[in-house]
Amino acid sequence: MKKRRLGNSGLEVSAIGLGCMGMTSGYGAPGSRQEMMALLRAAVERGVTFFDTAEAYGPFRNEELVGEALEPFKGQVVIATKFGWKLHEDGQPGLLGLDSKPERIRQVAEASLRRLRVDAIDLFYQHRVDPEVPIEDVAGAVRDLIREGKVKHFGMSEAAAGTIRRAHAVQPVAALQSEYSLWFRRPEEEVLPVCEELGIGFVPYSPLGKGFLTGKIDDSTRFDETDFRSRLPRFSPEARRQNRALVELLEKFGQRRKATPAQVALAWLLARKPWIVPIPGTTKLARLEENLRAAEIEFTPEELRELDEASSRIPIHGARYPEEIEQWSYR
């Protein structure tokens, strides 16, 4: 597996990481805990060194799973986790709002250290910007944790360009995580230029459009009620029917390289910038291996231009999130 550096931070990780959320929640019933532990360890065996979790996933169960599975590889892998939500203390699902007060950040860090079974959190993201807490206070709180040796690097998620600048002035931001793929390209407008200017790595989550860009989902697909895609406008049957044109483009493009639509989508992201590291999630070994092979694909400038131009002519239907969720992004 090739390696990449996240901006100027010096943080080196595998070119493709692994998003772990779906191993405990979000996309319907996952496999058993033992199956997911085996998958995490199989990822390490195949060269993955970058794993993404959060206290909110589960809540708490995902960090516990990742911590136990990766404990034998302590010092060999990079684990990113997140703070910033109010959660039910008993671990019941559901978000109770935002909370990035400095005392809450410290509380989350201490709990995450225990669940992840590590001495320091490799990358600590603010999950969403909290408008009630100045970003300078947030960055300062993480800076204090870094000075104490409890955190190694500071990250942000779905933040606006101006907010990133303000945080970075207090504590350098190592990585910015936001949704980015061929069917959601908003980061190109302001966020990616700021990351390049400031030397911040970029970590696309949902790089396969929450599974849609794999080509395995169509307008007849039925989602379990525990699958959050059942509530997303972009995953309505009509939107899926109209958005199929983008998948067909990836299928056609992949035929030349004997690549799957997912591999084309991931290889496109890797070709954008050398400091971009996507984190596709999966609960299946075959899908993990398929995704990792995308790191071996290198497009020519002409191929990239053709893919960009062809995809830009395809309108994407449906909002990515309902408004009550979308409001938490790009603050």
Question: Known catalytic residues?
Answer: 57
Angle formed by the axes of helices 237-257 and 261-272, to 10°? 80
311's tokens = 């995809």
On whether the CB atoms of residues 271 and 298 are closer than 8 A, the answer is: yes
Looking only at the bridges linking them, the beta strands covering 12-14 and 78-83 are unpaired
Minimal CA–CA distance to 145: which of 180, 187, 103, 177?
A: 103
d(CA 288, CA 279): 11
Q: 301 preceded by cis ω (within 30°)?
A: no
Q: Is 11 helix (H, G, I), strand (E, B) or coil?
A: coil
Q: What is the DSSP letter of 224?
A: -
- Which of 314, 321, 327 lies closest to 235, judged by CA? 321
**Can you tell me the distance from the alpha carbon of 260 to that of 266, in angstroms, rounded to the nearest whole number?**
10
- The one-letter code for the residue type at 320 is R
Report in angstroms the alpha-carbon separations of 144 from 11, 123, 171.
Answer: 19, 14, 9
The enclosing H or E element of 155 equals strand 151-157
